[in-house]
Amino acid sequence: MPRHSRTPRRLVADARTYLWTLRHSHSGADGGRSCRETLTLYPQPAGAGGPLRIVFAEGPGRYVPGGAPLGSGDVGYVRGASLNLHEPGAVRALLDAALAREWRPEARRAVELDGWSLLEAAAAARDRH
C-alpha cells in the first residue's frame, strides 16, 4: 500500500527524532507563476522545538518541480548540484547543513532558511556517502 503523501515521515539523526513533510506551492507574484518546494522538519516529541522550513523557490538558473520533465521533489541548479527532497538521505543532508549553519532544533521559534544556501553542501555530503 503506498504511503499517503500528506503523512509526515520520520527521521532519526544523532539520537534526535524529527517528523518531516514536503509541500509544493505556487505564487502568482508579478503576474507569473512561480513554484516552490518547502521541506519542514519538526523536532520530536511535539513541543520539543520549533519547526525548520527549508524553502526552494524557482528562479534563474534553478529548478523546482512544476511538471514534466522534472520528477516530484527534484530541486537543483540547471548546471550544478541537485537533490530529490523525497529521499530521506537528501533530507538528512539538508538537516546536517542547517545544523552546521547553527540552526538549533531546541529553539522554540519557527525558522525558515533559503534552501539554495544549503543545497551545494547537502549535495556534496550525499555524494560522499
Provide the pLDDT for residue 116. 97
SS3 3: coil
pLDDT tens, position by position, 58-113: 999 999 886 666 678 899 999 999 999 999 999 999 999 999 999 999 998 999 99
SS3 68: coil
Query: What are the angstrom distances between the C-alpha of 5 and each of 10, 35, 72, 120?
Result: 13, 18, 11, 26
pLDDT band at 47 (very low <50, low <70, confident <90, very high): confident
Query: What are the angstrom distances between the C-alpha of 71 and each of 26, 32, 65, 67, 121?
Result: 16, 22, 6, 7, 22
Mean pLDDT over 44-68 rounds to 89
Largest Cα separation within the chain, whole Å, is 46
129, 58 Cβ separation under 8 angstroms: no
How far apart CA 80 and CA 70 sit, in angstroms, is 15
With a pLDDT cut of 90, the percent of the chain lying above it is 71
Strand 16-27, strand 9-13: pairing: antiparallel
Which carries the bigger pLDDT value, residue 93 or residue 46?
Answer: 93
Decide if pLDDT at 4 tops 80.
no
Count of other CB atoms within 10 angstroms of residue 105:
21
Query: What are the angstrom distances between the C-alpha of 77 and each of 22, 35, 109, 117, 126?
Result: 19, 14, 30, 12, 16
